[in-house]
A and B are shown apart, each in its own frame.
Chain A
């Protein structure tokens, strides 16, 4: 094993896959420099023909990636901020998501749509979103939301090799997170949740930065409550079984998500637990998510985004 950080893990995955398969290329605004460091330096090794700086045109970035994927390449489109994906709403949610289905399964779209997501940096309503629900809601898109360097690398390699469109969200607040990864090549299959912490009193389901927040809260209250933390790692495909197994043991569930609460993933996961594990529940499921507001800028953002105290409060409530 070796020590790395989240953003280096992403860069390594890109590097290895660019090396392995010459059909892989990266396109996006300023990917040669790498706005968040995830693609930085790759141009030195692979050249501007494969690390392609585009004009400021998100619609063309996504659309061109999808078109190239339909025609046999395996592009990774970097949208910079997840918020900007709305600009390519038609291309991502209609074209990438539906193309194979509409064409009778005859055309594959092996594209990765990658973007930095999440708040905590006081960047306001249009540079802080983590639009997980929109992607999870759209049939045809897979969605990976890594919470550790290990997961980030393994999931991105799988994403690039997948023959379907995959949205890969890396969290801005996790870029410097340290962690261990194997020296040797490895992949993480989609649809396999990971128990990030074992416990027996309450199951906390969380993704991305909320996994790290939940781990911190679990550690703080470990003398009072034994918290199990399950990280689905991919929201589509979704590993409900691991969650149900945990609920059978604990009987209590808190779901934590950084995206907007209404019609969000906490409602969806909550309902799937209810549909498949109602008899194991000792208390109503608690959900913690962003308030039904745009993400406020500056110091106001903490009044909209979920905070550790909200997670602690929900654990307390479900244990009561």
Chain B
């Protein structure tokens, strides 16, 4: 996705509403965690550091221990990298590809639009879990494969949303003016149409990101996602599910982590400055 329209303006973060500032804070926190987490972790995330399983909050182990007695704080700090990094990369790839193909469809002759749209319909009709299962079974789980699966599954949705935006915008008078000026399709798509659909596409990106976090967590639960001893936030929730009855931090903290991550992304995106045509009131 290209730059946020107002991001070059220095004061944009200060002008965000309170919800946006909260969202921005959460996003920055999780990005920092994803980058620096492994160095900050007090214990080796794979080591059995505690005597008890599902221990509570304590001075030595701030967030207690998990179902095998490992340090939860260390595991969350290392797991964030997979959830944030992999999901964000896949969401960016899916949204960018979907938007790009939608723009292509909007400014192309009708037949190309038809071919692209029917191809996307085909892709969207494949159940996502089964698609992932088949691919993982055939090739074996790896990070690049998970990235590829998540991207492929969420391209058609992004394409659909983007195409409906782009096709409507392509009918606007300013696009007609550009056409009668003799502008090429690439200029019309990138300069005239894209800037006016960026905000809805960012909102869509937030949604895709959340879906991908959930998809990856689901795959991890089935044992097809990030492979042990590494674990993303989703697999931390699943592997500690038996601690739910005791209210152990081992399950609450990763669940809270996913929640703050996804809510933060959406708060930030919703609060980004809008650029819309003014309507007479």
A binds B: no
